[in-house]
C-alpha cells in the first residue's frame, strides 16, 4: 500500500535552513576568499554573523553580495564604508547602484 507523502517537520525545515546558511557561507568564501578563509559562525549560530578571517559578515550580507554580484573590490569598499560609519545606512543594493 502506498504511503502518504509526509509533510516536513519543523525540525527538518530548520535543519535544512541551517544547512543552507552553511552552504551559503562556503559559497561566499569560495567567491570572495578563494575558499581559503578561516570562516566560522559566531556563537555557533549559522543564520547570524560569521567570522571570515578578520572580517564579520552576517548571512544576509553574504547572500546580498552574491545576489547583487558584487566584485571583490565592491564588497570590501562597501565593508570599509559600512564599518567606519561613513555610510552606516546604505544598503548593499543601493551601494551597488552607486558603484
pLDDT of 13 reads 94
Task: Calculate the average pLDDT of the chain.
Answer: 92
Residue 49 dihedral angles phi and psi, to the nearest 5°: -90, 140
User: Which H or E element spans position 94?
Assistant: helix 92-98
The structural domains of the chain, with segments of one domain joined by +, span 10-98
28-87 tens-digit pLDDT = 999 999 999 999 999 999 999 999 999 999 999 999 999 999 999 999 999 998 888 877
CB atoms within 10 A of CB 73: 9
Judged against a pLDDT cut of 60, whether residue 22 lies above it is answered with yes
Distance CA 76, CA 55 (A): 10
pLDDT of 8 reads 77
Distance CA 64, CA 80 (A): 16
Q: When comparing pLDDT for 22 and 99, which is higher?
A: 22
Amino acid at each position: 500500500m502506498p504511503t502518504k507523502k509526509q509533510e516536513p517537520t519543523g525540525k527538518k525545515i530548520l535543519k535544512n535552513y541551517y544547512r543552507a546558511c552553511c552552504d551559503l557561507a562556503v559559497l561566499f568564501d569560495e567567491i570572495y576568499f578563494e575558499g581559503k578563509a578561516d570562516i566560522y559562525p559566531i556563537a555557533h549560530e549559522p543564520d547570524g554573523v560569521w567570522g571570515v578571517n578578520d572580517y564579520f559578515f552576517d548571512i544576509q550580507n553574504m547572500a546580498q553580495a552574491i545576489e547583487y554580484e558584487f566584485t571583490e573590490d565592491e564588497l570590501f569598499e562597501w565593508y570599509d564604508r559600512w564599518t567606519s560609519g561613513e555610510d552606516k545606512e546604505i544598503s548593499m543594493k543601493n551601494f551597488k547602484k552607486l558603484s
